Amino acid sequence: MMILKKNKDLKIIKLWLFTSICLIGLMIAVGGVTRLTGSGLSITEWNLFSGIFPPLSEMDWEKYFLLYQTIPQFELINKNITIDEFKFIFYWEYFHRLLGRLIGLFFLLPLIYFSIYKKIDKKYLFNFYLIFILICLQGFVGWYMVKSGLINNTSVSHYRLSLHLVIAFIILSSLVWNLMNIKNNKYLNFFNTFKNTIIFKYFIFLLFCQIVMGAFVSGLGAGRLYQTWPLMNDTYFPSDFQFNKLFDLINFNNHSLVQFFHRNLAYLIFIIFIFIGYKIKKEKMIYLYKPYFNLLILLLVQIILGITTLISGLNLYLAGLHQISTIFLLIFTLMLYKKSIAQFNE
């Protein structure tokens, strides 16, 4: 099936998608730093249009600073913050929101053009409009997340934070998948029914579960506990966890338990990946050797970054790299998965 009519159109659309992927990746990275620096609650209002410009006078800065002083984070944590220190956290959140607006416009305007002049197959247009809806939803979820930290809490809800992060990775994954389809000029459905690819789908599912668990760890500040590896201090299971009923094992408000799940989910992901390698080798899927090896390197880097982030006392740079590496880990996983199902469409 031909997707585009002209090679020139193909180049433009591939560039548009690739740039969108880069912007989403940057958004995830900036969002991670915003969270790590505690900057997410520095802007206490949702100004979709007037918020495009930062404070331009000392009077404006005083206004935003006074608004920040009304929330629990200031009262309980940052009581002694100066206005210059406030400007630092303000700008992280400001650039995070500004980048979100830029992504929305950058994705929508070319999409309208491609629609009017019928540059892309309708099946792809449907996908792209769904992605744009997700981008809009992401903005609303972001504000929904911020609201959870403005009244009774000193930080945002870790549940809302995880939803915000997962939507970002779904958008990223969708863009990557469609770009790969367009580059190969072959539409492959992500949700196929090939039995031989179930293990790859399961691996991707586990990655998203780990993204959720990582957001829980970040949102709760659970990484501040048990900063040792491989044991959690002197035990495998957190010693401060009290088990009274079965439901306690799924208490995702418990800091120690959440960190335990995050650690052990990483072990499970690595074991499943080794099994995938065994399956590839056994069935002589030579065409998967290279993408598997590339992903193995990234997975090892991700594990090392996770461990060093923990034992370093949550070093800001290592924590940021840990989140950024997740972006590449997911992209290379999708590349491996797509390569595996391509053989069934020959």
Model confidence over 131-152: pLDDT tens digits? 999 999 999 999 999 999 998 8
Model confidence over 89-100: pLDDT tens digits? 999 999 999 999
- Say what the pLDDT of residue 119 is: 87
What phi-psi label fits residue 138: left (phi over 0), alpha (psi between -120 and 50 degrees) or beta? alpha
- Say what the pLDDT of residue 109 is: 96
Model confidence over 24-43: pLDDT tens digits? 999 999 999 999 888 999 99
- Say what the pLDDT of residue 346 is: 53
Model confidence over 224-273: pLDDT tens digits? 999 999 999 999 999 888 888 778 888 999 999 999 999 999 999 999 99
Structure tokens that stand for 6 in this block? 């002209």
**216 and 258 Cβ atoms separated by less than 8 Å:** yes
Model confidence over 192-214: pLDDT tens digits? 877 888 999 999 999 999 999 99
- Say what the pLDDT of residue 2 is: 43
C-beta atoms surrounding 16 within 10 Å: 20
Q: Closest Cα to residue 218, out of 260, 259, 273? A: 259
- Say what the pLDDT of residue 186 is: 84
Report the distance separating Cα 47 and Cα 60, nearest Å. 14
Specify the residue for token string 């981008």.
135
Structure tokens that stand for 250 in this block? 């799924």
What would the DSSP string read from start to end of 262-328? HHHHHHHHHHHHHHHHHHHHHTT-GGGHHHHHHHHHHHHHHHHHHHHHHHTTS-HHHHHHHHHHHHH
- What does the pLDDT average to over 325-336? 96
C-beta atoms surrounding 126 within 10 Å: 11
Higher pLDDT, 154 or 128: 128
Residue 308's pLDDT band, with cuts at 50, 70 and 90, is very high
Bridge partners (DSSP) of residue 235 are 232
Does residue 6 carry a pLDDT above 70?
A: no
- Say what the pLDDT of residue 344 is: 60
Does residue 163 carry a pLDDT above 60?
A: yes
Does residue 4 carry a pLDDT above 90?
A: no
Structure tokens that stand for 306 in this block? 């996770």
Q: How far is CA 76 from CA 72, 164, 226, 265, in A?
A: 6, 25, 24, 34
Residue 304's pLDDT band, with cuts at 50, 70 and 90, is very high
Task: Give start and end residues of each alpha helix (H) in the chain.
Answer: 7-36, 58-68, 72-76, 83-116, 122-147, 158-184, 198-220, 255-282, 289-311, 316-342
Report the distance separating Cα 96 and Cα 92, nearest Å. 6
Report the distance separating Cα 145 and Cα 99, nearest Å. 17
- Say what the pLDDT of residue 219 is: 92
- Say what the pLDDT of residue 330 is: 97
- Looking at every residue in the chain, the average pLDDT score rounds to 92
Q: How far is CA 186 from CA 9, 54, 196, 253, 337, in A?
A: 16, 44, 20, 44, 15
Helix, coil or strand: residue 79: coil
- Say what the pLDDT of residue 154 is: 85
Report the distance separating Cα 258 and Cα 250, nearest Å. 9
| Proportion of the chain above pLDDT 70, given as a percent | 97
Report the distance separating Cα 53 and Cα 68, nearest Å. 18
Q: Closest Cα to residue 219, out of 283, 174, 161, 138? A: 161
Specify the residue for token string 């074991």.
271
**229 and 262 Cβ atoms separated by less than 8 Å:** no
How many degrees, rounded to 5, is the angle at CA 146 between CA 140 and CA 147?
A: 90
Phi first, then psi: give them for residue 339, nearest 5 degrees: -60, -35
Q: Closest Cα to residue 326, out of 307, 345, 298, 304? A: 298
44-53, 106-115, 273-282, 323-332: least confidently modelled range: 44-53
Phi first, then psi: give them for residue 73, nearest 5 degrees: -60, -40
**329 and 203 Cβ atoms separated by less than 8 Å:** no
